[in-house]
Structure 1
Amino acid sequence: MNVVRTAIPDVLVLKPTVHGDARGIFFESFNRRTFAASIGRDVDFVQDNQSRSARHVLRGLHYQITHPQAKLVRVIQGEIFDVAVDLRRASPTFGKWVGHKLSAESREMTWVPEGFGHGFLVLSEFADVLYKTTDYRFPGAERVLRWSDETLAIDWPVRDGLVLSERDRAGQPLADAEVYQ
């Protein structure tokens, strides 16, 4: 597994080793030992989630203020622009974001640690996204950061004609959002 550090060093892009021949391909999408060695810590994933979304659906930016979740995100069909926002007030990168295109073709994954808001925008006709989490979903702890917050200035590859849920449309700007200490 090749690990690429992003502009926020705690957010990683993971590139699995893909083996291929005339029959097709094989790769380990997750191996606990390899993953722990790649990110520098052992992680206990407790939940797998999957979503399918149409072109220009924007999901996020989501986080849980209590029971924070780290996420390992990958795309098994289509392409997305994946975004992580640092919401750790004590961090030198607080309020900064990183984005990376993930696709079924590249097989790359994003490691989003605890303390980050996460979201993605579908760039293909549709996208199937899988993500592992380190804590369970706690609806009362869920928060949404405004995807279009001018303070964050996220450079989404598409801004017009986006499809958002009511909850995502009502996200809080960073200035008003509950954040991690």
Structure 2
Amino acid sequence: MELMETIRRRRAVREYTDEPVGEDQLRALIGAAVQAPSAMNQQCWSFCVVRDAALLAQISDEAKTYMLRTTPAGLIPHHLEEMLGAASFHIFYHAPAMIVISATMAGAWAPIDCTLAAENLMLAACDAGLGSCWIGFAQGWLGTPEGKAALGLPDDYTPIAPIIVGHPKAEPPVVPRGDPEIRWA
């Protein structure tokens, strides 16, 4: 697949088959992620792979509760509040795997470096015929002491990018993009 085709085809996937993602495939995605640029080549990222369905369900429940409890009233749109409050809603969409990219050090550039690695990972997943989705709903709880403990992360790590990965049930449609605003100086 050509790079520009992969960039155009990559979409957030929220429906997955039950087929597991193999360890070799997950390692290949992480291998692509670490090719991302990083400030001063510090490569201050760590990858935690979660494939245990019970742990994913526990994190989903904890993250929903945390988000509803800690977000100031009125800041969560009503439809999202209802979705997060539904016991049946699984924030990871029952994907068979999640890769959490965490910053291993503090600093202004570490979250950006992890985000660059995340985009490489998601593009590599698309190129391999896999689906992926960055799950923002999980970020808050994963950053708590309890969330870090669930992942076995050191206290000084900061979870940045919880990305689910799996075999998509269907290829998501291409979403039209508007013309970019470009300013020439």
**How high is the TM-score relative to the length of structure 1?**
0.29
The answer to which structure, 1 or 2, has the higher relative contact order (CA under 8 A, 6+ apart) is 2
Write 1 or 2 for the structure with the bigger share of helix: 2
TM-score, normalised to structure 2's length?
0.29
